[in-house]
A and B are shown apart, each in its own frame.
Chain A
């Protein structure tokens, strides 16, 4: 609905040159037409956050919005989910929310999807320029994170292929607290990279944490499990308390710097902040930071490091993958390929590739290093492994890199 003057406030930003703008921003009246007619946004969840998001999107110039939610409306939703009325109780949230926006904001078209997020194929999610999450469960967030990261492809040098980045924005609220984060797969940390933000924690051997920290996660665990008790006796650590989390984060930063571990460090001067947290119980406090990606993230890294003895056969590498605790529960019957070459595949190529299993891995990949693609029906997207064939220990191999 392009009535003259309707989007005046927004047009100031879209049509005027600015000093604080993203790289490549060119003021252009066509931007609003793009937002309104061409840009497709998916809002996942039509609850408390979802209702607010749908309204905010519609009044920020977005015209083609989809919303997906599996829930129906309950009386206890009405104190905040303002798109619903008492007469709507029992109806699907997605449908009522979409109809409410369509009716109130002229020209905006919201399409509802009353189903579970897992019911939609990846192609469904592929069609959106941006995905926004208004979810309340960790599991659903992790699923959507895998979806967004599954589109990510890498150039040969291991850098992300820009055209495959599916930006995702995650929000969350509880009581007087909340957070918002921007996930640009391949650039900013994905959900799995910073899973430590959410309890329960993965457990690491204490000696590793104390003597030989090797990853950002090790530093964070050290700060949490060991330093906390030493330096803050009498305070029970509570991951829900912002100040506690920040303390652990700051201590982890120091420790990472001491051991020269990249990943926990952040620089305010470069790159974008990607995480904002909000606490509104005692005054209003927000903290905006740039978290770093986990270079060994299973979901969004260009390759998970994998070390195997120099003389391994393909079968031995596959066995090792299946024993690896990092992939626990993820690999049932893995198929492995290397670039365009199928090394071992289940299904119709099984017979053809079976003979490779006993072959020398070095010979198959033509060297000591390769990126392996591992497929499994339990995986949403292929797992990328950065294989190194070497007789040195893992740690030595890491140092050597």
Chain B
């Protein structure tokens, strides 16, 4: 069957492979507000516009100057003297005609102070090149309205990225190395009965070598448990014995086992019998979270989590719902399909059980949620093992007295983090410098070294608030920060913008796991560090 693709799915083909049609739909309904459109902001938005967001609004009060032509690809000579927001906006719209865009020629700081309601209707606010004091106000505004916030900044050869949102619950975390959930260690009744219905000894040669390895392993587990007080093989000796048991079932000619592919697969997959089966700690933490005490305004995620918990306690007997996916294995088509049906039937009945709990929960809590489709319940069950909840600290916590200073102190003495932790302190110090001197260090024509002592004073004060002493990189980093002269270099902006757009996509599609702390990118050493403060 030839799949006929509409032009849009052809254009987005490569990204649809990563986040699927539903991820794309989420992106296509996203309205984004960008504050300041220097290279950091412009490049972040460019990446998202290419991906196909619904629309954007750029807020920037400045006019295009020569300096912008040296670092911003979205501006050109024709824009000189005109509104920067307008210039960037018009080229961005050219990049993707299905995206609508607008601009407001106002200083973001003024907008934050005068018109906080402006931000209410956006899915995501991307704030770039804003100082600490302004960011604090913006974070409060966004938190109050449940608008997600991305703070991005590049400063010379350093850049930072920080997500702020109340909580971000993810069903589709898409882990890289998920181990399938096949229940060899504890097959449910139907699977057990199905597996045991095959008598190896009575089979003809063809059948014997086409019995799926899953059945071989389940039989071996049954056999093993019967001889070991119901316990699974543990320790390397028992595991070797377990494999030997499997091997002894292979057909032999003159005492030599015949090569059988299903048995080879059983050997390589034997470890699935004793690999981790419990509920992962991240999922356990969700099940024990305070949000599990539902009320009428609890979100879909928490209602589903509550239903999941009831399932685990009741039908699941301590297990999560079955994923229901059977990997490919050597078998006859018919046997494979029969086995697949056993897994699918169980998965479907688990979904039904969770769904029943969910209906009761929604009713009991007089939930305002109108409906949760079976498909949604199914997706939740299928990913139950990989659920994640990310909570972001408020910027006022990070920048205030409840900052986790111990984390910073530790980083400042760790060999692989000391430089980046120092840069973090200095980035905060340049904002304090600005508050006092109304300019950033090194922005004038006078030698930047002359401002090192003033920056050092600000940074030293911060350091003593943290309760740390300077790292070996202290003086070098101080000098470099002054040398940067608050410059916004295109290549640094492009890198942090790539990461920012990626985090934006994670937040909007609710897929993959966003970064929960403040990321520092150090272009001098090509390293990054994340500090959860």
Contacts and interface: CB of A to CB of B under 8 A. Distances in A.
B284 interface: no
B512 interface: yes
A9 B489 contact: yes
B512 A56 contact: no
A282 interface: yes
Contacts of B10: 75-76
A9 B499 contact: no
Nearest to A3: B66
Interface stretch (B125-133, B257-265, B330-338, B520-528): B520-528
A243 B176 CA distance: 10
B494 A52 contact: yes
Interface string A21-64: 00000000000000000000000000000001001101110000
A282 B172 CA distance: 11
A269 to B, nearest CB: 10
Contacts of B344: none
Interface string A356-383: 0000000000000000000000000000
B339 interface: no
Contact of A78 (B11, B69, B156, B487): B11
B513 interface: yes
Interface in A103-157: 104-106
B11 A79 contact: yes
A4 to B, nearest CB: 7
Contacts of A233: 239, 271, 274-275
B65 interface: yes
Contacts of B524: 20
B102 to A, nearest CB: 20
Contacts of B175: 281-282
Contacts of A52: 494
Contacts of B448: 12, 16
Interface stretch (A283-291, A294-302, A306-314, A318-326): A283-291
A203 interface: no
A207 interface: no
Given A12-B156, A241-B176, A234 B271 contact: yes
Interface residues of B, number: 75
Interface in B6-29: 7, 10-15, 18
Nearest to A5: B66
Contact of B50 (A16, A80, A105, A235): A80
B483 A12 contact: yes
A280 B442 CA distance: 34
A159 to B, nearest CB: 26
B71 interface: yes
A350 interface: no
A204 interface: no
A8 B67 contact: yes
Interface string B506-527: 0000001111100100001111
B431 interface: no
Closest 9 CB pairs of A and B: A9-B487, A234-B275, A234-B271, A59-B490, A19-B476, A6-B70, A12-B485, A76-B13, A283-B515
Given A19-B479, A76-B13, A243-B176, 15 more contacts: A5-B65, A6-B70, A13-B483, A17-B483, A56-B494, A59-B73, A79-B13, A79-B52, A175-B18, A235-B271, A240-B176, A280-B499, A281-B175, A284-B528, A288-B525
15 contacts: A5-B67, A12-B442, A13-B156, A18-B479, A55-B73, A60-B489, A76-B13, A76-B14, A79-B11, A105-B76, A106-B76, A175-B18, A238-B177, A268-B416, A281-B174
